[in-house]
């Protein structure tokens, strides 16, 4: 067992420590002595992009199944044990990891850790539960498919990455969920839900030593601690990240058209990601951004208009989303295209840079005001990065971004071939000229 201080904190607060237990299980904590709550997360380094074709949808399927029961708790006991003390328990699945989390009073930390460890290590995954949750997931897919503003982002990923693991929907498809047998789900669970791929992160009014003892005890009960303290390193690549430039139109009789125009972005470890963040904030990151002002405030063409970035181990996305009347899609597309070209040619102003930096700084600091966000930061960081940057270090990196940095990033990212996804009543309309 080895323990390392990742960040010393100040005045006893904000200390981040990591202990690696036998079997490669990592425990990271951040002390927040002025609060009365604790957030616990169990991060597993497996996401939907890791699925082979025969396992499509298995990662998210497991997110549901692990709450259905263990040898010591049934589904009701799992939820009632946390909700009965005023806490919350849930999970989410992403492209490259899955997280099971709870938030409770500090005095209830032993219970929260015990329940989550039980869920993650000892799920029964019975045939009855698989069939029950199969129906629930199909309902979730149907609900998702009824929201064009959700579907358009999936359509964009599919157009950008093609029929590859990272381009497929996290939920899976109706066909893949219907065809996924229990045996393959169990195989997936036993292969990937192992200590070397797992990080337990805890933030709040805690002592690191107490957390480590509780985690070790819970995992020992499950027989999951053995071997050397070696853990899986952060992933630096992934299957199927080849990109494409194409147009995908989903013809639907909707009252509003939904579109995403974009291209590949930065990997999550690219040093230029801070410059891209400032550029994104200026271009479409808020009500004062160029796109919002031009599309909504000046011309009244849409209610919602924004840009965004997503980052993965070996690729990333930059996208512009707009929801507008179907008759206005051509005007909106032209504005988006013109603004992208203008930023590439001219960059952004000093005022926009200052505003973008302020937006990033405020978003970072304000987003870390609670135990849940702190837990997520240290847990995700331990899973996917080589080092933990302090908040001050991140703020310094944002502040050091120069106009030249932004110009270089704009010329790189925004000059790449564009991909477009559109959902609306368009039949066989050809949007290809709009992004040429």
Q: Please, which residues have CB within 8 angstroms of residue 259's CB and are 6 or more apart in sequence?
A: 152, 321, 322, 323, 324, 329, 332, 333, 420, 421, 422, 423, 424
Rounded average pLDDT over 347-371: 95
pLDDT band at 11 (very low <50, low <70, confident <90, very high): confident
pLDDT in tens, 417-436: 999 999 999 998 999 998 88
pLDDT given for residue 386 in this prediction: 84
Distance (Å, whole) CA 186 – CA 190: 6
In the predicted structure, residue 361 carries a pLDDT above the cut 80 = yes
Catalytic residues: 63
> How much is the pTM?
0.94
Q: Please, which residues have CB within 8 angstroms of residue 250's CB and are 6 or more apart in sequence?
A: 148, 151, 152, 155, 421, 422, 423, 424
pLDDT in tens, 202-218: 999 999 999 999 999 99
In the predicted structure, residue 242 carries a pLDDT above the cut 70 = no
pLDDT in tens, 25-75: 999 999 999 999 999 999 999 999 999 999 999 999 999 999 999 999 999
Average pLDDT taken over every residue of the chain: 94
Do 156 and 169 contact (CB within 8 A), yes or no? no
Given the structure tokens 């940095």, which residue do they identify? 405
- Dihedral of CA 269/260/433/293: which sign? negative
pLDDT given for residue 62 in this prediction: 98
pLDDT given for residue 243 in this prediction: 66
DSSP 252-268: ---SSEEEEEEEE---T
Give the number of other CB atoms < 10 A from CB of residue 83.
11
pLDDT band at 387 (very low <50, low <70, confident <90, very high): confident
State how beta strands 316-324 and 302-311 pair. antiparallel
pLDDT in tens, 172-194: 999 999 999 999 999 999 999 99
pLDDT given for residue 402 in this prediction: 97
pLDDT in tens, 12-28: 788 999 999 999 999 99
In the predicted structure, residue 251 carries a pLDDT above the cut 70 = yes
- The radius of gyration computed from the CA coordinates of the chain, to the nearest angstrom, equals 23
Give the number of other CB atoms < 10 A from CB of residue 181.
11
Do 401 and 275 contact (CB within 8 A), yes or no? yes
**Percentage of the chain exceeding pLDDT 70:** 98
Six-digit token string for 96: 């490259």
Distance (Å, whole) CA 119 – CA 127: 17
pLDDT in tens, 118-172: 999 999 999 999 999 999 999 999 999 999 999 999 999 999 998 889 999 999 9
Nearest to 42 by CA among 184, 193, 171: 193
pLDDT in tens, 67-106: 999 999 999 999 999 999 999 999 999 999 999 999 999 9
pLDDT given for residue 239 in this prediction: 56
Do 294 and 339 contact (CB within 8 A), yes or no? yes
């Amino acid at each position: 067992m080895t323990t390392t201080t990742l960040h010393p904190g100040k005045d006893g607060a904000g200390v981040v420590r990591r202990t690696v237990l036998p079997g490669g299980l990592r425990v990271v904590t951040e002390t927040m002595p002025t609060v009365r709550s604790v957030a616990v997360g169990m991060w597993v380094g497996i996401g939907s992009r890791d699925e082979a074709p025969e396992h499509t949808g298995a990662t998210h399927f497991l997110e549901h199944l692990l709450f259905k029961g263990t040898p010591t708790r049934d589904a009701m006991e799992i939820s009632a044990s946390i909700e009965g003390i005023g806490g919350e328990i849930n999970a989410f699945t992403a492209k490259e990891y899955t997280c099971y989390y709870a938030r409770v009073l500090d005095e209830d930390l032993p219970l929260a850790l015990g329940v989550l460890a039980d869920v993650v290590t000892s799920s029964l995954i019975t045939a009855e539960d698989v069939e029950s949750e199969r129906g629930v997931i199909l309902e979730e897919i149907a609900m998702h498919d009824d929201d064009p503003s959700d579907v358009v982002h999936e359509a964009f990923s599919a157009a950008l990455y093609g029929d590859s693991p990272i381009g497929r929907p996290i939920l899976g498809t109706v066909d893949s969920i219907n065809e996924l047998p229990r045996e393959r789900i169990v195989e997936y669970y036993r292969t990937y839900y192992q200590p070397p791929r797992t990080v337990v992160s805890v933030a709040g009014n805690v002592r690191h030593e107490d957390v480590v003892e509780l985690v070790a005890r819970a995992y020992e009960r499950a027989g999951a601690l053995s071997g050397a303290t070696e853990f899986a390193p952060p992933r630096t690549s992934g299957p199927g990240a080849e990109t494409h430039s194409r147009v995908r139109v989903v013809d639907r009789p909707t009252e509003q058209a939904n579109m995403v125009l974009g291209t590949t972005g930065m990997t999550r470890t690219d040093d230029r990601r801070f410059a891209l963040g400032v550029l994104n904030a200026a271009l479409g990151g808020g009500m004062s951004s160029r796109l919002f002002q031009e599309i909504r405030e000046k011309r009244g063409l849409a209610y919602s208009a924004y840009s965004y970035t997503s980052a993965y181990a070996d690729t990333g996305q930059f996208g512009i989303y707009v929801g507008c009347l179907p008759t206005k899609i051509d005007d909106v597309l032209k504005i988006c295209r013109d603004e992208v070209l203008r930023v590439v040619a001219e960059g952004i102003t000093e005022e926009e840079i200052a505003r973008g930096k302020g937006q990033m700084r405020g978003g970072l600091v304000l987003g870390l005001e609670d135990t849940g966000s702190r837990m997520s930061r240290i847990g995700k960081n331990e899973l996917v990065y080589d080092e933990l940057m302090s908040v001050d270090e991140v703020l310094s990196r944002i502040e050091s971004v120069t106009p030249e940095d932004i110009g270089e990033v704009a010329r790189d990212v925004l000059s790449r071939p564009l991909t477009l996804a559109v959902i609306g009543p368009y039949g066989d309309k050809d949007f290809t000229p709009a992004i040429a």
